[in-house]
Amino acid sequence: MSHLGTTLMQQGDLSAARDVSEQALELWRRRMGSEHPQVPALMSNVAVILARLGESEPAKLLQTEALDMAKRLLGEGHPSTFELMNNAATTLSEAGELDAARTMGQAAVDGLTRLFGHEHMQTQAAMANLAMTLRQQGDTDALRELETHLNDHFRKLVVDAGRPLRG
């Protein structure tokens, strides 16, 4: 059910995505308990949708609650905790809190890099989100450095591996 919410969000149907994601969260809480380790991720998904709907304050509150719960249930160094930090950075960015978004995004990138390295897809996704924040801030030097790394990684993955590019 939560995957359906994500799909609806990606398709631009934010209202339906919100309804489905909130139902999934409530169902999970009832069946598995409010302290289940999956609950913070479901909360974070709802918060991302709220942010995209322009409901910044409820989104930030829910994102903070999700991140605090993940730290408590999973630990501060858990991969899911860093993913929730990345989501929180996105929520902050969409709320226009770019300095806080940058700090949170950088912490997510740093944590994921320590766990998985620069080449891992979760690290790359966090780097791409951080790049969007840097672009919004107008920090062209930091953005250029990060985009160079992302482009180098893409080249290694696709071009150097002999995979054809289609345009």
More confident residue, 118 or 58: 58
Q: Among the CATH numbers 1.25.40.10, 1.10.287.610, 1.10.10.10, 3.30.565.10, which is that of 2-159?
A: 1.25.40.10
Amino acid in position 67: L
More confident residue, 163 or 64: 64
| Domains in the chain: boundaries | 2-159
Is the sign of the CA dihedral 139, 145, 146, 152 positive or negative? Answer: positive
pLDDT at 59: 97
- Write down the pTM of the prediction: 0.85
pLDDT at 101: 97
Alpha-carbon span 113 to 105, nearest angstrom: 12
* Rounded average pLDDT over 120-143: 92
- 130 pLDDT above the threshold of 80: yes
pLDDT at 66: 97
Alpha-carbon span 92 to 77, nearest angstrom: 21
pLDDT digits (tens, 9 = 90+) for 58-112: 999 999 999 999 999 999 999 999 999 999 999 999 999 999 999 999 999 999 9
Alpha-carbon span 137 to 33, nearest angstrom: 40
